Amino acid sequence: MTMIKTTRVRRGMLPVAVLALLAAGCGTERPENTADEYRRSYPTPTGISTPSTLADFPCPDESPTPAPTRTADTPGTAAPGDHYAENHGFRVPFPLHGRRRCDGLAAVGRIKAALEPLRQRGDLAPEHTRSALTSLGYPAEKVQAYENGPTGTGFLIEIDASPLCVEGTMNRDSTRADAFGGYPDHSGCDTPNGGH
């Protein structure tokens, strides 16, 4: 009998000990914004550089004023209290900068040149579009071509794993293609279905 009573006493002590540890942390005061307090106490040393925006420069065969890069598929401004843009930020592709931007523009040029003969013939079949894109050396598993409405074809190519992506459409009137650097919270080039 004595053994059973000792075990019950020991089991009862554990919750009391945990409660005492938790209570010991109560009552300490913290400044309202600890990040601001930290910055005041420990300012950034002047010898350390902070990240800056990558500079874009003219790429080969580009006019002096670069064309705007692909931005968001979501509305540009939202009404106060409207969190649509914030909640759909995962669908906004990364723009390309620097050397990657030039690589993207070169890929777009090659792709448009390969698709132009098809467009001029009126051949908008997805399988022919895909064949023209794979003939450029892109792996078949990284090339998608699909119907884009009744009179067009859409395509998506993952050029490399960084990723460097090219997406576009082709119809009887024109071929459009844009390069971008993938999406936040998502690997690959396809548009993500859900955010984080």
pLDDT at 159: 93
Angstrom distance (rounded) from CA 53 to CA 163: 19
Angle formed by the axes of helices 126-134 and 98-121, nearest 10°: 130
Locate the domains of the chain by residue range.
97-180
Q: How confident is the model at residue 64 (pLDDT cuts 50, 70, 90)?
A: low
Token pair recorded at residue 59 = 């790429």
pTM exceeding the 0.75 threshold for the entire prediction? no
Sequence-separated (6 or more) residues with CB below 8 Å from residue 180: 69, 70, 93, 94, 95, 96, 104, 165, 167, 189
Given a cut of 70, is residue 27 above it in pLDDT? no
Lowest-confidence segment of 69-73, 82-86, 124-128, 145-149 by average pLDDT: 69-73
- Sign of the C-alpha dihedral computed for residues 57, 62, 189 and 89 taken in this order: positive
User: Is the separation of the CB atoms in 134 and 140 below 8 Å?
Assistant: yes
